[in-house]
Amino acid sequence: MDLAFTPEEQKFADEVRAFVRANLPADVRDKVKNGKHLIRDDYMRWQQALGKKGWLVYTWPKKHGGPGFTPAQRYIFENICAEEYAPGIIPFGTKMVGPVIYTFGSEEQKSKYLPAIRESTVWWCQGYSEPGSGSDLASLRTKAEKNGDHYIVNGSKTWNTMGHWADWIFCLVRTDPKSKPQEGISFLLIDMKTPGITVKPIIMADGGHEVNEVFFDNVKVPVENLVGKENEGWTCAKFLLANERLGIAAVPQSKRGVEALKDIARAEQEDGKPLIENQSFAEKIADLEIQVTALEFTELRVLSQMAHGGQPGPEVSGLKIRGSEIQQRITELTMEAVGEYAAPYLPGLLWQGTNEEPVGPSYAHLAAPRYFNTRKTTIYGGSNEIQKGIISKMVLGL
Amino acid sequence: MDLSLSDEQKQLKDAAERFVRDKYTFENRRKIAATERGWLPENWSQFAELGWLGMSFSEEDGGYGGGPIETMIVMEEFGKGLVLEPFLPTVVLGGGMIASAGTKAQKEALLAPMIEGKKQFAFAWLERQSRYNLADVSLKATKEGAGWSLSGHKGVVYNAPSADHIIVLARTAGSAREPKGLTLFIVDAKAKGISRRDYPTQDALRASELTFDKVSVGADAVLGKVDEAFPVVEGAVDRAIVALCAEATGCMDAINAATLEYIKTRKQFGVPIGKFQVLQHRMVDCFTNAQEARSMTLMASLKIDDKDATVRAKAASGAKVQIGKSGKFCGQSAVQMHGGMGVTDELSVSHYFKRLTMIDLMFGNQQHHLTRYSNLAMAA
Amino acid sequence: MDLALKAEHKAFADEVRAFARENLSPATREKTFSGKHYDRDDHMVWQQALGKKGWLAYTWPKKYGGPGWDVTQRFLFENVLAEEGAPRILPFGPKMVGPVIYTFGTDEQKERFLPGIRSSEVSWCQGYSEPGAGSDLANLRTRAVREGDHYIVNGQKTWTSFAHWGDWIFCLVRTNTEVKAQEGISFLLIDMKTPGVTVRPIIMTDGAHHVNDVFLDNVKVPVENLIGKENEGWTCAKFLLANERLGIAEVPASKRGVSVLRQIARSEPQNGSTLADDPAFTAQIADIDLQVQALEMSELRVLSTMAQGGAPGPEVSTLKVRGSEIQQRIAELTMEAVGEYAQPYQPGMLFQDTNETPIGPDHAPPAAPRYFNMRKTSIYGGSTEIQKNIVSKMVLGL
Ligand SMILES: Cc1cc2nc3c(=O)[nH]c(=O)nc-3n(C[C@H](O)[C@H](O)[C@H](O)COP(=O)(O)OP(=O)(O)OC[C@H]3O[C@@H](n4cnc5c(N)ncnc54)[C@H](O)[C@@H]3O)c2cc1C
Ligand SMILES: Cc1cc2nc3c(=O)[nH]c(=O)nc-3n(C[C@H](O)[C@H](O)[C@H](O)COP(=O)(O)OP(=O)(O)OC[C@H]3O[C@@H](n4cnc5c(N)ncnc54)[C@H](O)[C@@H]3O)c2cc1C
């Protein structure tokens, strides 16, 4: 057992750091560092740079054009990107639909879709949830009826993250309404420019627009866009959800978040002294830091199992639970650190990056909106109650 | 980076597992706890034979060249069985301090026989006013000819009734609570002037209150340098904390397993109570808590030999915070999910619960270590 | 609404205080403040003094020999007695079976049993729970078969508090096995001296003997010991449980617990001063203090509804939930205040009036045992989970 990096791992770490420093656009880095909102182009510039290097799809095996990183390399890559203030990689193409396609897709599908995902020239979004199907995903109703060499899709999807920026959407649709809920579902790729698709924004508690409703009105989708077999989409769906949960703990981002919180606590004053000298507040940060360390070592233990040929089991759900709680706690403490100056609401500065003068310190206006927004982490990707249900059933046998 | 066990470590784990399975069924443990000594010499001999008493010491010191990971492996299994043999005071604390500060002569006279199972130690640091401050020591050692004379009181000294030697932390200079001016003495447990009041602890271990009345020791009784004991003690206690964390992780695994089994079999309202979602989610939280405890223990075991003193101290304190939190959660939840059975002496749950509770109080509870961690982290 | 006390209530409080100071044995009082276990005499001598004064059955209406107090008087009585260190009144006679008898019993039964309860000459215990019937009380199996003018009772009760001190036990027994679980139950009074009754101790985590198994082996019980109608015992059972829950929050004892905790903090050394100078610890005391105050106000709101003639609703379950959590937290903080010296186990100091000197300070010996023991409060009298189910169903309509 050894925590230290081998010389090769150390060399790799240096390479990653050098790459990020050379290729991450300075304005993007600056936005991430200061907690500002990113626009589509910010993500694209960074992801395309990674794509060129062959690192965007860093979790993929060599066979499908991934770099074939070891678990230790993945860990290093994720951590250094976070330390260097790179934006998180948007998962819909790289971590969700990509692996589904290379696992369940035909050769034509692989050669048609994978390159654009690897290079980040196409933006994907995820069409799983529906108004009536959240936690109970299998109850979904969006219908796809076969009509010659096309499916005709009708229904609506909701909560589509960044659907308004997307070129393509992968959808779960019902192809057989007569069988058991899980058995009549198919996995379909749909071009967002197809006639009959409408995207309507949903405004979040912080005033931001990141999710949408997507309506399908007699949308014609070629049958060759079906991944896997008809009515066997649930297999793809579950495979994808398991992948989704692994990265969702966001440990590197949380480590960065704790450091940013410390910076704010050093800048904020109380009784003529920096807030960080307030023992009780400092202990709250310390407690959070310990939680992050515990989560990181849990993830490292999973990675180490994987390095020895093991598969991550359902206990990965535990990572998602604690990871999301920690993300929330960081935003909560950040808001506490800001205090009264968290109250002013400055949508212009928040969303459009106007040149308005901030009220209070420059980070203040972000604190409360982030706290409100981050409540989402215990809901999406399978809510924490659902994750506990999974562990209870799959791990504990209850 | 590699967090997997080596083949030798896997064998060690198997052996420790086997020992607990064979020798520490719950009923057996009850019998051992009821003996006067509170532990079994034959088990201790077996530890010596299996090499556990020497595994974490360097070959130079007569050990087998292992380290904190080996200690972690064994302590975790001990936690599963609530093992009563005084491994922590003798090997981790006593042996650890002698190995880190002892002279060659002291190592030969004490460490070698300890590894053979022939000597046991107790570490006397706490006093009535100390709480968790290791430097809050007032037992006085004054020069007496070539040697020293010790007078004062020590409390809750684990394994003092069985120990051959007591390692005493005494004040030789400086004012109250000053880290400088502390000295360690190795004192024969039967030395004239020591009086003992023995008792069991809540979790069935044995400890004593010790009074030192002009206890004379030679100059060779000093362990390490005069007035400079504090870093030695702090280091040894941090190692002991990490070992305790491993023990607690084992306790959590065992108490969670017992509870899981119970809620699968206990029926009320015509179904196993494990069908009720509140209990399911609470059980999941127990499971997650134990995972985190295991992760922090591993982290601390890997870092406790780090060159940087701050890294070591933060590792120990960080793990102790986690263990306090997780241990309380798992312990209280297990009792609750057992209903009335949880508060009886009859089942093992209450015994694990008591041990987890006492581990939190040893060498500083969750709050104490959160403060310590916080101060270290903010200073960095 | 008025929080201030009227003059006559002040006089009443003074009277209660004077009575307690005169009649409560100093040894018993000392046990209360040091957290030691009472023996039978501690309870009986005190309860009989209260009985003589007409105050033991202080919740009863005048008609049945109670003092007929208003809710303010009750509140003052309970608080003053707690402040003075009186042991709690054992509820089995005065708060449980007494009200059942005067509500459902015949005139003969009232005459026969109520005086012994009022005077505490006869002590009672509660035979509800069985090995297979804990939370699911209606699942009880103890059989009572009618034979002439007797019932023959066979079965086992468990967790029976103070059965080893009890003269009588009130039992739920099954008199009809053919009908729905709740419909075949009867409420029976059984003299503990009847042949066939055996009591076996259950030892608790802290080594204490409070609870017992009670075995009933062909016990002959005269039919006139049946309360209410045969097979209608569930009505009595539910009536009793609702009464039980009201007092079980133990607010006055928790108020005393907080003040004792503060005293301990003032006497516990730390870094050359005391624990009372440690803001992290005093903040935790402040937090529990506030919780006690919130609970007290909630209880006062219920009492005020009752004073207006309303009946306490199922929301009293929340009082029981919070009350038990608070009692547990006080015990936990008390143990933490004691620190390392909570580790020695000193049964002599706990259970017998030995002359041993304690190891550590006087308040140390009971600290950990009490913490272990108080885990019971969220289990008995309907566990926390069961109370929440009640609130969820009856109050929230879920
Ligand atoms: C910001 C955001 C972005 C999202 N992005 C996407 C996206 O890009 N694509 C996509 O397809 N979806 C997306 N989602 C949807 C997300 O997956 C769902 O919100 C989630 O599955 C929960 O469904 P719901 O919102 O309908 O809540 P519900 O399912 O109605 O749940 C409401 C509450 O009930 C609880 N609950 C439900 N069932 C159980 C049970 N069996 N036991 C115990 N508790 C239960 C839940 O935990 C939750 O607390 C996003 C959601 C958010 C908030
Ligand atoms: C110290 C002590 C004194 C007692 N004194 C007496 C006495 O004098 N007389 C007497 O008759 N009884 C007495 N009891 C018994 C007490 O009432 C029972 O312990 C209690 O009803 C719980 O039953 P159980 O212990 O069988 O636990 P179980 O019913 O087996 O419960 C085990 C766990 O499952 C949970 N659970 C059960 N059902 C549900 C559900 N539907 N939903 C969610 N969770 C559930 C419980 O909350 C608990 O956490 C005493 C108990 C104790 C501990």
Task: Provide the residue range defining the domain that includes A59.
Answer: 7-89
Give C350's pLDDT tier (boundaries 50, 70, 90).
Answer: confident
C285 and C220, same domain (yes or no): no
Pocket residue to mutate for ligand 1, from A123, A383, A384, A392, most atoms within 8 A of Cβ: A383
Pocket test for ligand 2, best of C142, C162, C380, C392 (most atoms within 8 A of CB): C380
Q: Is the CB of A128 under 6 A from ligand 1?
A: yes
Backbone angles phi, psi at C274, to 5 degrees: -125, 170
Task: Give the CATH number of the domain where residue B75 resides.
Answer: 1.10.540.10
Query: What is the pLDDT at residue C1?
Result: 56
Closest residue, chain A, to C283 (C-alpha) = A280
Q: Is residue A98 part of a domain?
A: no
Residues C287 and C365 both lie in one domain: yes
Alpha carbon of residue A285 to chain centroid: 25
Q: Residue A385: CB within 6 Å of ligand 1?
A: yes
State whether B252 and B370 are in the same domain.
Answer: yes
Taking CB atoms and an 8 Å cutoff, what residues of chain C touch B209? 359
Instruction: Tell me, yes or no, if B196 comes closer than 8 A to chain C by beta carbon.
Output: no
Enclosing H/E stretch for C192: none
In order of B39, C106, C127, C144, C216, the CA distances from C229 in angstroms are 58, 10, 18, 14, 22
What does the pLDDT read at residue C316? 84
Residue C326 lies in a domain: yes
- The number of folded domains in chain C is 3
- For residue B302, give how far its alpha carbon lies from the nearest alpha carbon of chain C (Å): 28
Residues A23 and A53 occupy one common structural domain: yes
- pLDDT of C226 reads 98
Counting ligand 2 atoms within 8 A of each CB, the residue from C90, C92, C130, C135 with the most, and so the one to mutate, is C135
pLDDT for res A245: 67
DSSP codes of every residue in C282-333 = HHHHHHHHHHHHHHHHHHHHHHHHHHTTPPP-TTHHHHHHHHHHHHHHHHHH
The per-residue b/e assignment along A286-300, b for 16 or more CB within 10 angstroms, e otherwise, is: bbbbbbbbbbbbbbb
Residue B42 belongs to a domain: yes
CA distance A343 to chain C (A): 26
- Could you confirm whether C84 is annotated as catalytic? no
**Do the domain assignments include residue C175?**
yes
Please determine, for residue C367, whether its predicted confidence score (pLDDT) is greater than 70.
yes
Same domain? For B222 and B235 the reply is: no
B149 and B47 within one domain:
no
Query: C22 pLDDT exceeds 80?
Result: yes
Beta carbons within 8 Å of A15's beta carbon, 6+ residues apart: none
How far apart CA C68 and CA C91 sit, in angstroms, is: 18
Asked if A388 is an interface residue toward chain B (Cβ–Cβ < 8 A), one would say yes
B1 and A321 in contact by Cβ < 8 A?
A: no
Confidence at residue A104, expressed as pLDDT on a 0 to 100 scale = 97
Q: Which domain holds residue B12?
A: 7-88+100-118
Report the pLDDT value the prediction gives residue C243, as an integer from 0 to 100.
76
Ligand 1 within 6 A of CB of A379: yes
Same domain, yes or no, for B237 and B369? yes
Partner C, chain A 154-213, Cβ-Cβ below 8 Å? none
CATH number where C275 lies: 1.20.140.10
Chain B interface includes C213 (CB < 8 A): no
**DSSP category for residue C133:** B
> Any bridge partners for residue C161, and if so which?
C211
Q: The CATH number of the domain where A346 resides is what?
A: 1.20.140.10
Determine, yes or no, domain membership for A309.
yes
Q: Which two tokens stand for residue C339?
A: 């620190």
Residue B94 lies in a domain: no
Task: Please give the distance, rounded to the nearest whole angstrom, from the Cα atom of residue A321 to the centre of ligand 2.
Answer: 30
Atom of ligand 2 nearest to the CA of B341: 25
Whether B272 is covered by a domain: the verdict is yes
The answer to whether residues C189 and C258 belong to one domain is no
Task: Find the chain B residues whose C-beta atoms sit closer than 8 A to any C-beta of A.
Answer: 1-6, 9, 69, 260, 263-264, 274-275, 277, 280-281, 283-285, 287-288, 291-296, 298-299, 302-303, 318, 321-322, 370-371, 373-375, 377-378
- Rounded Cα–Cα distance for residues A29 and C391 (Å): 51
Pocket-testing residue among A244, A379, A390, A398, ligand 1, by greatest number of atoms within 8 A of Cβ = A379
Asked, for residue B302, whether it belongs to a domain, the answer is yes
Could you tell me if residue A381 is inside a domain? yes
Q: Are B245 and B367 in the same domain?
A: yes
Whether C44 is in the pocket of ligand 2, judged by its Cβ within 6 Å, is no
From B181, B196, B229, the end of a domain falls on B229
- B347 touches ligand 2 (CB under 6 Å): no
Stretch 56-95 of chain A: residues touching chain C, C-beta under 8 Å: none
- Among candidate residues A205, A231, A257, the one where a domain is terminated: A231
The 8-class DSSP code of residue C122 comes to: S
CATH number, domain with residue B175: 2.40.110.10
- Count contacts between A and B (CB, < 8 Å): 127
Q: What gap in Å lies between CA B209 and CA B202, rounded to an integer? A: 15
What confidence score (pLDDT) does residue C353 get?
A: 67
Give the residue, by CA position, lying nearest to ligand 1 atom 30. Answer: A134
Q: For residues C289 and C386, state if they share a domain.
A: yes
Looking at the structure, tell me whether residues C218 and C308 fall in a common domain: no
Go through chain A and tell me how many residues it has. Answer: 398
Residue B1 in any domain: the answer is no
Listed in sequence order, the DSSP H helices in B82-162 are 87, 96-101, 104-106, 112-115
Tens place of pLDDT per residue across chain B (380 aa): 888 899 999 999 999 999 999 999 999 999 999 999 999 999 999 999 999 999 999 999 999 999 999 999 999 999 999 999 999 999 999 999 999 999 999 999 999 999 999 999 999 999 999 999 999 999 999 999 999 999 999 999 999 999 999 999 999 999 999 999 999 999 999 999 999 999 999 999 999 999 999 999 999 999 999 999 999 999 999 999 999 999 999 999 999 999 999 999 999 999 999 999 999 999 999 999 999 999 999 999 999 999 999 999 999 999 999 999 999 999 999 999 999 999 999 999 999 999 999 999 999 999 999 999 999 998 87
Same structural domain for residues C257 and C389?
Answer: yes
Domain-located, residue A239 = no
Closest CA to A49 of A73, A22, A72: A22
Is C104 within the bounds of a domain?
no
B235 and B349 part of one domain = yes
**Contact assessment for residue B155 and residue B127, using Cβ atoms and an 8 Å cutoff:** yes
C257 and C207 belong to one structural domain: no
Q: What integer best gives the mean pLDDT of chain C?
A: 94
Q: Does the residue C115 lie in any domain?
A: no
Q: Indicate whether B254 and B330 sit together in one domain.
A: yes
How far is the C-alpha of C326 from the C-alpha of C315, rounded, in Å?
17
C159 lines ligand 2 (CB under 6 A): yes
Instruction: Confirm whether B2 is domain-assigned.
Output: no
CATH number, residue B357: 1.20.140.10
| Min Cα–Cα distance to chain B from A261, Å | 12
A327 and A260 inside one domain? yes
For residue B343, which atom of ligand 2 is closest to its CA?
53
Distance from CA of B39 to the nearest CA of A (A): 32
Asked if the structure places residue B206 within a domain, the reply is yes
Q: What percent of chain C has pLDDT over 70?
A: 98
Question: Would you call A325 an interface residue with chain B, using a CB distance cutoff of 8 Å?
Answer: no
Q: Which domain holds residue C52?
A: 7-89
Q: Does A271 touch chain C (CB under 8 A)?
A: no
C390 Cα to the center of ligand 1, angstroms: 27
B353 Cβ neighbours under 8 A, 6+ residues apart: B255, B331, B332, B334, B335, B342, C205, C372, C375
Confidence category of residue C244, pLDDT binned at 50, 70, 90: confident
Q: Is residue C66 part of a domain?
A: yes
Q: Is B348 on the interface with C (CB under 8 A)?
A: no
- The CB density around residue A177, as the number of other CB atoms within 10 Å, is 10
Q: What is the 3-state secondary structure (H, E, C) of chain A?
A: CECCCCHHHHHHHHHHHHHHHHHCCHHHHHHHHCCCCCCHHHHHHHHHHHHHHCCCCCCCCHHHCCCCCCHHHHHHHHHHHHHCCCCCCCHHHHHHHHHHHHHHCCHHHHHHHHHHHHHCCCCEEEECCECCECCCHHHCCCEEEEECCEEEEEEEEEEEECHHHCCEEEEEEECCCCCCHHHHEEEEEEECCCCCEEEEEEECCCCCEEEEEEEEEEEEEEHHHEECCCCEHHHHHHHHHHHHHHHCCCHHHHHHHHHHHHHHHHHCEECCEEHHHCHHHHHHHHHHHHHHHHHHHHHHHHHHHHHCCCCCCCCHHHHHHHHHHHHHHHHHHHHHHHHHHHCCCCHHHHHHCCCCCCCCCCCHHHHHHHHHHHHHHHCCCCCHHHHHHHHHHHHCCC
In a domain, C238, yes or no: no
pLDDT < 50: residue spans in chain A: none
In a domain, A84, yes or no: yes
B287/A276 Cβ within 8 A:
no
Residues C153 and C222 in one domain: yes
In this complex, the chains that touch A, judged by 3 or more CB pairs closer than 8 A, are: B, C
Backbone angles phi, psi at B188, to 5 degrees: -60, 130
Cα–Cα distance measured from residue C327 to residue C263, given in angstroms and rounded to the nearest whole number: 17
A168 part of a folded domain? yes
**B208 and B297, same structural domain?**
no
Residue in A232, A244, A296, A299 annotated catalytic: A244
Nearest CA to ligand 1 atom 23: A134
Give the minimum alpha-carbon distance from A393 to chain C in angstroms, rounded to a whole number: 21
The single residue listed with the structure tokens 């250094």 is A80
- What pLDDT score was predicted for residue C102? 96
Touching B (3+ Cβ pairs <8 A), the chains are A, C
Q: What is the distance in angstroms between the Cα of A14 and the nearest Cα belonging to chain B?
A: 16
For B224, phi then psi, to 5°, come to 80, -155
C255 and C312 co-located in one domain: yes
Please check the confidence at residue C311 and state whether its pLDDT lies above 80.
Answer: no
Give the lowest-confidence range in C208-217, C322-331, C389-398: C389-398
Clarify whether residues A266 and A311 are in a common domain: yes
Name which residue sits closest to atom 53 of ligand 1, judged by CA.
A376
Q: How far is the CA of A158 from the centre of ligand 1 (A)?
A: 11
> CB–CB of B255/B349 below 8 Å?
yes
Q: Are B317 and B295 in contact (CB under 8 A)?
A: no
Q: Please, which chains are in contact with C (at least 3 CB pairs closer than 8 A)? A: A, B
- B204's enclosing H/E stretch is none
Q: Are residues B67 and B163 in the same domain?
A: no
Average pLDDT taken over every residue of chain A = 94
Flag whether A134 is in a domain. yes
B343 part of a folded domain: yes
Residue C97 covered by a domain: no
As for how many domains chain A has, the answer is 3
Q: What is the ipTM, given to two decimal places? A: 0.92
Task: Give the global pTM.
Answer: 0.94
Q: Which of C78, C130, C244, C299 is catalytic?
A: C244
C379 lines ligand 2 (CB under 6 A): yes
Q: Which of C203, C268, C339 sits opposite B361 (nearest CB)?
A: C339
**Nearest residue of C to residue A282, measured between CA atoms:** C280
Q: How far is the CA of A134 from the centre of ligand 1 (A)?
A: 5
Q: For the segment B126-177, what is each residue's pLDDT rounded down to a tens digit?
A: 999 999 999 999 999 999 999 999 999 999 999 999 999 999 999 999 999 9
Rounded CA separation C85/C31 (Å): 8
> Is A214 in the same domain as A259?
no
Is A227 found in the same domain as A130? Answer: yes
Q: Is position A316 within any domain?
A: yes
Instruction: Provide the number of structural domains found in chain B.
Output: 3
Residues 21-80 of C with CB under 8 A from B: none
The residue from A66, A89, A112 where one domain ends is A89
Whether the CB-CB separation of B326 and B292 falls below 8 Å is answered with yes
State the pLDDT at residue A65.
96
